Amino acid sequence: MNPPKHPVEKPVGIRDLQATILHVLGLDPHRFHFPYQGLDQRLIGPTEEGRVLQDMLA
């Protein structure tokens, strides 16, 4: 029998994981930005999708 290839419960997106890691490092994922080719870029992307996963930190 093959194991499932997708999470069964509580899937985590890459932006959520990145926001959680930045939070653990002491950085605000929505305010942390860096200049790249004349634009301010964020590691979690331009949208507000990234959220800190408190369940992973407990």
Is residue 49 predicted with pLDDT exceeding 80? yes
Q: CB–CB of 44/21 below 8 Å?
A: no
Shortest CA distance to 29 belongs to which of 13, 10, 5?
A: 13
Instruction: Give pLDDT tens digits for 21-46.
Output: 999 999 998 888 889 999 888 888 88
Is residue 8 predicted with pLDDT exceeding 80? no
Q: Once rounded to an integer, what is the mean pLDDT over residues 13-19?
A: 90
Domain map of the chain by residue range? 14-57
pLDDT for 12 = 85
pLDDT for 55 = 86
pLDDT for 26 = 93
Rounded CA-CA distance 14/17 in Å is 5
